[in-house]
Structure formats: structure tokens, C-alpha cells
Amino acid sequence: MDCLFCKIVAGDIPCTKVYEDDMVLAFKDIDPKAPFHILIIPKNHIKSAAEINGENSEVVAHIFEIAAKIAKDENLEKGFRLVTNCGEDGGQTVSHLHFHMLAGRSLAWPPG
């Protein structure tokens, strides 16, 4: 399948890994928008948040659990943002579900 993040999961494209288990991979974003910016993705290909259903939603809960663990490990006690862009208007550029975890500066709200 011609999917960038599936290739990263397979090891065909290198990444800077932050966390990995049998369900998820977390790695540094190549173009960071904050001092701390990682992507947390399911290893299985899911196109976007719009494809989440009763069959595959378990991995989303797991991603939030791992984000909380990473926040502790990385000492992000001032907070962080966990966000997924979905579809064209959501600003999604890679069609494999991913959660941006951003921290290390005060983040604007609402987003532009």
C-alpha cells in the first residue's frame, strides 16, 4: 500500500522513535510545530478519525493512554495538545490516522 506512515511502521522509511508496542508507534514529527512534537499512530492502517468504529476504536483509547505515559516520561507537566486533523478542511495531509502531540510552548486556541 502506498502509505507513508505504513512504510514508517514497516521500517522502510526511518523515523526517530519515541515509543513502540504491538499496537502503536510514536515518533518525532519531521517538521516540528512546537519544541516537542510527535505523532502517535496505530500500526494498522486506518485512514482518519472519520473511519473509527466499534471494530477499531480500541486503539484510540490506547493512543490516549500512551500519550499520558509519554507526558510523564517527558516531564510535560505544563501541558500538551493531542489533536488529529481529519480530511481536507481538517488539514490532514497524510491519510493514515495520527495524533499530533505538541508541547513546550503556549499553544494558541482556536487554531487558524
Q: Which residues are catalytic?
A: 98
Our CB check for ligand 5GP shows the closer of 13 and 50 to be 13
Among the listed ranges 49-57, 60-68, 90-98, 101-109, the one in contact with ligand 5GP (CB under 6 A) is: 90-98
Should residue 91 be labelled a site residue for ligand 5GP when binding is judged by CB under 6 A?
A: yes
Strands (E), 1-112: 17-20, 24-28, 36-42, 81-83, 99-103
End-to-end CA distance of the chain: 32
Rounded Cα–Cα distance for residues 1 and 77 (Å) = 39
Should residue 2 be labelled a site residue for ligand 5GP when binding is judged by CB under 6 A?
A: no
Output the smallest distance, CB 1 to Zn ion, in A. 6
Output the smallest distance, CB 57 to ligand 5GP, in A. 20
